[in-house]
Structure 1
Amino acid sequence: MKKILLITLCLLCITNSKAQDKTITSAGDILQMALPAVAFGSTFLYKDDHTKPTWQFIKAYGSSVILEQALKHIVQKPRPDGSDNLSFPSGHTTSAFSGAAFIQRRYGWKYGIPSYILASFVGYSRIQAKKHDGWDVLAGATIGIGTSYLFTKPYEKNKINVSLNKVDKGYTIGFNYSF
């Protein structure tokens, strides 16, 4: 009787584990579009004629998607699960972190921290689903954050500011902290 109960319990755990994996993957799929959708929608709710937030979002998100797709076709890294799509960088993670970084830059860390947590969950869901490895997710996050930082004007009360300037033979990246 104990063996039957133990086997039944093990089967339930395995079945439940697969259901949880599907739930995590589905949640990541939804969040990778929800974060940029919320960021884009916020540009219509909180109007700012001086900085044109809608245009900033379009440039940030659009450039992140273009860069992510270009890298996928240049690198040609296969996915860990062997499926047909390319792996490097993670498009889901790029999308999620682009939205999260836009929210953080425009509205501050109060909204940025929860956004980054949700974007990190998207990255986790891609690794858990065996669609990407850690490098794919890290590259996607870097692209999403980087393009948002390049094209989005910072929140007025931000103490941290990142800038990119063109110089004679290249570019400089500046980090400023106000206190």
Structure 2
Amino acid sequence: MTAIKTKSLQILQKATIKNTNLIYFLCLSFVFIINIIINSKESYNTWIEIIGTILQIAIPMYVLVPVIWKKDKEGTIQMLRLLLVVVGITWAFKLGLSQVFGINDMRPRGGSMSFPSGHTTGAFSGAIFLSLRYGWKYAAFTLPLAFFVGYTRIYALAHWPIDVIAAIILCSVSGFLLVKKYQKTEA
């Protein structure tokens, strides 16, 4: 156990922005390749939804890149808090709180648990965290991708626009309350 912990610490100490980004994008590429193989015969409409589904996880996972190479323990705690709050609130609404407030929870293509969009919540939790914690340059490509995820949910008739807007507002407000700007002096 101690040898594993020592090796893990050595890897983290050698982490740089270049190799951390490379590892992340290699893993993301692997996910896309697997999906291309599995879903090669799907229609364009299905692909839009598949890409949105991948990105809703990929964006918050990208948070690991600056957290690792900056060795930002406080950022890790803040992101975990943000995820717990936004996912908790999202699922509270999906599991009945929306009915308490009289919010339409039926999806455009049928089914329930529409409000708010969980995919959009996932994508925006990462994008908002990166924006607030490390500055806009780290979120320059994640915010447009997060908006794309929201678009895919509306395009696929999985959510109404209000579901996506609610998820964006939830992540933004929670982010402003829970995420503090990164300071190099933090330990």
Q: Which of 113, 116, 121 does residue 94 from structure 1 map onto?
A: 121
Which residue of structure 2 lines up, in the alignment, with residue 57 of structure 1? 79
Which residue of structure 1 lines up, in the alignment, with residue 134 of structure 2? 107
Alignment of 1:6-155 (within 5 A): 19-48=43-72, 52-72=74-94, 73-76=96-99, 77-83=105-111, 85-155=112-182
Please list the CA deviations of residues 29-63 of structure 1 after superposition, one character each: whole Å capped at 9, or x if unmatched: 000000111114432221235xx111001001111
- Where structure 1 has 5 or more consecutive residues not aligned to the other structure, the ranges are 1-17, 157-179
Taking the aligned partners of 2:172 and 2:85, their CA distance within structure 1 comes to: 11
Taking the aligned partners of 2:136 and 2:69, their CA distance within structure 1 comes to: 19
2:129 and 2:179 in contact (8 A); partners too: yes
Give the number of aligned pairs.
137
Identify, as 1 or 2, the structure richer in helix.
Answer: 2
CA shift, 1:87, in A, is 0.4
1:32 and 1:92 in contact (8 A); partners too: yes
Please list the CA deviations of residues 9-48 of structure 1 after superposition, one character each: whole Å capped at 9, or x if unmatched: xxxxxxxxx7221111000000000011111443222123
Please list the CA deviations of residues 114-156 of structure 1 after superposition, one character each: whole Å capped at 9, or x if unmatched: 2110000000000011010110000011112222222111245
Q: What is the RMSD of the two structures over their aligned residues, measured on CA atoms?
A: 1.8
Is the partner of 1:104 in helix, strand or coil? helix
Is the partner of 1:64 in helix, strand or coil? helix
1:96 and 1:144 in contact (8 A); partners too: no
Which amino acid in structure 2 is aligned with residue 113 of structure 1?
A
Which residue of structure 2 lines up, in the alignment, with residue 169 of structure 1? none
- TM-score normalised according to structure 1 size: 0.71
Residues 89 and 153 (structure 1 numbering): CA distance in 2 closer, same or farther, change over 3 Å? same
Please list the CA deviations of residues 65-109 of structure 1 after superposition, one character each: whole Å capped at 9, or x if unmatched: 0011112221141111112x4101000001100110011112211
Is the partner of 2:110 in helix, strand or coil? coil
Which amino acid in structure 2 is aligned with residue 58 of structure 1?
L
Report sequence identity in percent. 40
Please list the CA deviations of residues 159-179 of structure 1 after superposition, one character each: whole Å capped at 9, or x if unmatched: xxxxxxxxxxxxxxxxxxxxx
Identify, as 1 or 2, the structure richer in strand.
Answer: 1
- Point out 4+ residue stretches in structure 1 off by more than 4 angstroms: none
